[in-house]
Amino acid sequence: MGGRCSKFPFCWWQSHLKPSALQTSDLENEEKSSFMSFREFRWEELKSATNGFSSDNIVSEHGEKAPNVVYKGLLDNEKWIAVKRFNKSAWPDSRQFLDEAKTVGNLRSERLANLIGCCFEGDERLLVAEFMPNDTLAKHLFHWENQPMKWAMRLRVALYLAQALEYCSSKGRALYHDLNAYRVLFDQDGNPRLSCFGLMKNSRDGKSYSTNLAFTPPEYLRTGRVTQESVVYSFGTMLLDLLSGKHIPPSHALDLIRGKNFLMLMDSCLEGHFSNDDGTELVRLATRCLQYEARERPNAKSLVTALVSLQKETEVPSYVLLGIPQGNANCSQPIQLSPMGEACLRMDLTAIHEILEKAGYKDDEGIANELSFQVWTNQMQETLNSKKHGDAAFRAKDFTTAIDCYTQFIDGGTMVSPTVYARRCLSYLMSEMPNEALGDAMQAIVVSPEWPSAFYLQAASLFTLEMENDAHQSLKEATTLEAKRNRN
């Protein structure tokens, strides 16, 4: 979820989008069969999907330093997902976290970026949702590049968002935490969807507004709690966003409206593209949502009713109104890792051992044909014996002996073998000596700078040392070298 980035004539709607699509009570029925059912994920599964929670995969607006970061991931090499990773202090009670996630995970609507799973292992708390590839409402409204958002699309966003809130309310999830333009995401067809992450509490005490106080519901400032009416207030601030193309404080907007200067509020990019009646009606609706007294605000159902009648260009698909290609996935394909790469990413040292053992010395020009060499001196015979004893210990997973024997071979100085460095590197990793392992991986690279396995082992050593960024660089280098080798 996160990422880059209606009312149709009823005859068209009935034949293409099913007759209940405007009735939010039935929105969940349309696509239920196409959604993954909610499930619990393993930590390693999500780590692999996000390329080790790589910074390259971050799609949340606040980046690595945010308390809760959202990553793009590829599940089983076929399904894109959004993974929200909470900070260590959030959700100390794993049972409470699971119960809350399951409740939200039971929701299914085409107006939501639906929650499809969660993970809780140790201190880790993660949510998994459908990935929305076409950016946030904030991106399209405030930071657009090719074209400003069209009036008809703004009205559609308002309606779809109201329908999402009505659906959630009908399912007993009326509270939405910190509703804002970053919480509205666009799917591959350009349809706006409400992020399901905001249906979860952001912290153990439920206090959740992170925006500027100028945009915070008045009652929240008094009580510190989100109510159903608080969500409607936030919806009103988003109507102002849609009207103005800017994130302006409600107090300023209301002053303009009371002074009958609402046209000063309108986005200048919309001039000539909307009627005064439509603009007046949307301003009136925003004003009702922003009433100081919570009880005077409309509910989600009445918002839907009001917005249905305002819809324009209902026969035009959302991707056209949004100005994006149909089915735009906007997802760069992640690195396709080999079994060795996957093992390094998972830090599966046993799998790395099996791969190195199976590969033998076939990539090692200095050793591959050693048995056919004539033994010229006793020193060379001793060196080769050290390697053979080391290989036997390596196969038997006696890594202490392997380290000793490979060290004798290396110190003998008569032959240089990147494979021996690689095997001693893994033996060091198995013996919890990551600094020594990193040194051997680097020596293997010096001896054989085009050998992917050397870079894979460097990545494994760096992961062990928690040098994530450097590890991912090594992993990329190894993958590139392996792809180049496979092409040749």
Closest CA to 455 of 431, 434, 473, 433: 473
- Per the DSSP assignment, residues forming a β-bridge with 115 are 129
- Per the DSSP assignment, residues forming a β-bridge with 129 are 82, 115
Report angle CA 418, 420, 421 to the nearest 5 degrees: 65
> Can you spell out the DSSP letters for 240-260?
HHHHHSS---HHHHHHHHHTT
404 is catalytic: no
Q: In what order do the strands lie in the sheet with 184-186?
A: 112-113, 192-195, 184-186
Tell me which of 178, 241, 363, 391 is the catalytic residue: 178
CB 472 within 8 A of CB 56: yes
Virtual torsion, Cα 187, 188, 189, 192, nearest 10 deg: 10
> Can you spell out the DSSP letters for 260-299?
T-HHHHS-GGGTTSS-HHHHHHHHHHHHHHT-SSGGGSPP
Q: Report residue 131 as tokens.
A: 């990935």
Report angle CA 302, 225, 200 to the nearest 5 degrees: 75
**Residue positions annotated with a catalytic role:** 178
